[in-house]
Amino acid sequence: MSKGHEHGAGASSRRLTWALVLTGTFLVAEVVGAVVFKSLALLSDAAHMLTDVAALAIALAAIKIGERPADDLRTFGYRRFEILAAAFNAVLLFLVAGYVLYEGVLRLLNPEPVGSFGMLVVASLGLVVNLISMRLLASGAAKSLNMKGAYLEVWADMLGSVGVIGGAVLIMLMGWTWVDPVVAIGIGLWVLPRTWVLLRNTTHILLEGVPKGLSLPAVRATIAGVPGVAEVHDLHLWGTGSDDVNGSVHVSLMEGQVFETVRLSVLEQMKAVHGIDHATVQIEEGGAKDARGTGDAAKGHR
């Protein structure tokens, strides 16, 4: 593992720890406020806050586990645990959103009085906590699906806090208690499509799909265009995490080519054109020459 990656993981770990402390501390206050002021919207926000705590804790654990080096049992290391954590967070968000939608419909059918002022105060404090946590997590969200999952949790909760604040103001001014479950339902509906995108992306990586931004035909064309390459077979591209790319390919050479020269050229083009810096190129036996220019070619790996 490179020093740069370790530095990035350490920074992400510290940001996650601070966000976890802030969110976990406020969670208790929000749950108490939801019960005291009988606000479903506040309870909905507290439920999201609970998933925030779980998501941040899981994301933090995933980074710690992902830092472990490869060993005889896990030859690719433990970085895929971060993807598993992101997938778990997505499933957790689905469950919470479903619960909130269910409770919201019940509350619409059976309205209850709401302590709007207390609801406003608690939601405002929650908004401040969410904004701080989002600031802590923003830089890592674009680089890691694990961090993105945690960031989306906090982002959804931030919007929930905004919705609860707006609902509390309307209830105070207009007496519309039905606004409370409507806000809760709105939060649930907003979260679902974004959660689906996160789950789809993590599933794609777990199924070893082609990493985002790469095209299998384009990579194949690049390899086929390397001087000396006759045919390209069994090309595979995958990632163990959200920010790495691995590749493997079988290459047949034209008659009389020096296999090591062509193999290195293929590797260089895969890296220069497509950013694939961890690849295995296997030269199929045939009319190619070995590095000394004589005999049949052996298999070449990297």
Which of 155-164, 183-192, 232-241, 282-291 has the weakest average pLDDT? 282-291
Distances from the Cα of 282 to the Cαs of 62, 130, 261, 296, in angstroms?
A: 34, 50, 13, 14
β-sheet bridge partners, residue 231: 252
Beta strands 246-253; 279-283: pairing state: parallel
Task: Give the mean model confidence (pLDDT) for residues 91-106.
Answer: 80
Return the percentage of the chain with pLDDT > 90, whole number. Answer: 13
Dig out the tokens for 179 from the structure: 């606004």
Dig out the tokens for 82 from the structure: 């971060």
Please state whether 177 falls in left (phi above 0), alpha (psi between -120 and 50) or beta.
alpha
- Higher-confidence residue: 15 or 10? 15
Q: Delineate the domains of the chain, giving CATH numbers in brackets.
A: 3-206 (1.20.1510.10), 216-283 (3.30.70.1350)
pLDDT reported for residue 286: 57
Q: What is the pLDDT of residues 76-98, one digit of tens each?
A: 777 777 788 778 878 877 887 78
Edge-to-edge strand list for the sheet holding 246-253:
229-238, 246-253, 279-283
- Higher-confidence residue: 217 or 95? 217
Q: Is 260 helix (H, G, I), strand (E, B) or coil?
A: helix
| pLDDT beyond 60 at 219 | yes
Which of 37-51, 75-89, 168-182, 234-248 has the weakest average pLDDT? 37-51
Task: Tell me if 266 sits within 8 A of 226, measured CB to CB.
Answer: yes
Which of 26-30, 136-140, 182-186 has the weakest average pLDDT? 136-140
| pLDDT beyond 80 at 55 | no
Beta strands 229-238; 246-253: pairing state: antiparallel
Please state whether 228 falls in left (phi above 0), alpha (psi between -120 and 50) or beta.
left
Task: Tell me if 51 sits within 8 A of 132, measured CB to CB.
Answer: no
Place of tokens 């968000």: 93
Query: Which of 50-59, 141-150, 209-218 reaches the highest mean pLDDT?
Result: 209-218
- pTM for this structure? 0.66
Dig out the tokens for 78 from the structure: 């433990």
β-sheet bridge partners, residue 238: 246
- Higher-confidence residue: 131 or 75? 131
How far is the C-alpha of 32 from the C-alpha of 125, rounded, in Å?
13
